[in-house]
Each structure stands twice: as structure tokens, then as C-alpha cells.
Structure 1
């Protein structure tokens, strides 16, 4: 089991590490108040609860923002595989980092609204 996000990222080949690091930086930029940790065995950003998870899979990058975010962004997610709370970005296509940033910002607002 990994104790840090750095350990998790470092287990992968360099090309996957680069993608994971860019996703990590994108989320950090979009949610600077969040705390980075490992939860459910994968990188997680926490802000008044789990904000967003991400993980490397054999053929895709998994982003786990929860079902509300997947539903909210469904038009922008056409062409990507999704399921309840999960988005799969194939390594064979460019990773949409801007979309990941928008999804993260949506999740920050969602978490802040729950606290008020």
C-alpha cells in the first residue's frame, strides 16, 4: 500500500508518471486549499470530504469526481467512457487537463456549498 501520492506515481513508467503528475498539478491548481492523500489506495484530494480521486489503469486514466460532476459535465464528456462517478480518459487520446480543472473547480464549489 502506498503512503504518499509520490510513491503511487513513481511506480509507473515515465510516460504515465508524466500524465499523473500533470493531473496532480492541475487538481492542486484548481483546489489549492485541498489536502493530498491516498484513499482507497489511489491519489485523492480532500476538502471537507473526498473531493476527487485519480488513478492510472492499464489503458486509461481514471478520474473519480462523483456522480453529480459526471452528470453536470455530461455534454463535455461525450466520447469518453463514464459510469456513475467515474470518467475514463484513454491514453490513446490527449488528456483534457482543462476539463479536469473545470471538474475539480465544480467539486470545490459543491463541497463549499455543502458546508454552508
Structure 2
């Protein structure tokens, strides 16, 4: 398990994001036990409170659960929750912006569809 940190956001948020990514990509399956706060803090050489704060963000999102005396486990449906949130974020971050800019440029729905198809073809050529 590899963690990569930078200066872009607080460590606890980066821990939460990277654990979430591991759940999303199948690094942790539903029902899997995630490393303990102590294990992660020792492995990463950071304060256990920082790790716990990041893990609590995932608890608050309903992605992992604390089982008293046993540890933290990936909740059933966690991967699907992440997928749904990412789809909503994609809509808000990209689609709305795209449509706003298309409207400003006078791009019609059909022209936009043509551009999407062109982009798909360009992607196939370049891959």
C-alpha cells in the first residue's frame, strides 16, 4: 500500500482521499478490514490523530465503519457510493461548465454531440 503526499491539502484529507481511491479501485473490497490508525501512522510516520481524522471522514461518508474491538471495515455499497458521488462531481465540475461555455459560444446541442463524437474518434486514433 503506497501513499503519496504533497502540499496541496492537509494530510488527513490526503489520507482520506487515497483510502477512498483504494476502495474505489478495488484495493479494499466490501467487508475488508482497513489498516488500523496505529499501523498507518507508523507506516507513514505521522501522528495517529491525523490518520484518525482522515479515517473519520470516510466514516462520516458511510464508506467505512468502526467495529468496536475489531477495527475499521469497508462498508457494503462503499464502491457504489463513491461512483455515484464522482458522477455527481463530474456533472457539477465539467458538464455544467461545458454547457455554459457552449451556450456562450452559440454551440447547438447537435454541434455539441458532433464534437463529443469527434473527441471519441480522436481518442481512438491516439490510443
Fold agreement, TM-score > 0.5: no
Which structure has the highest strand share of the two?
1
Q: Normalised by the size of structure 2, how large is the TM-score?
A: 0.29
Q: Which has the larger radius of gyration?
A: 2
Which structure has the highest helix share of the two?
2
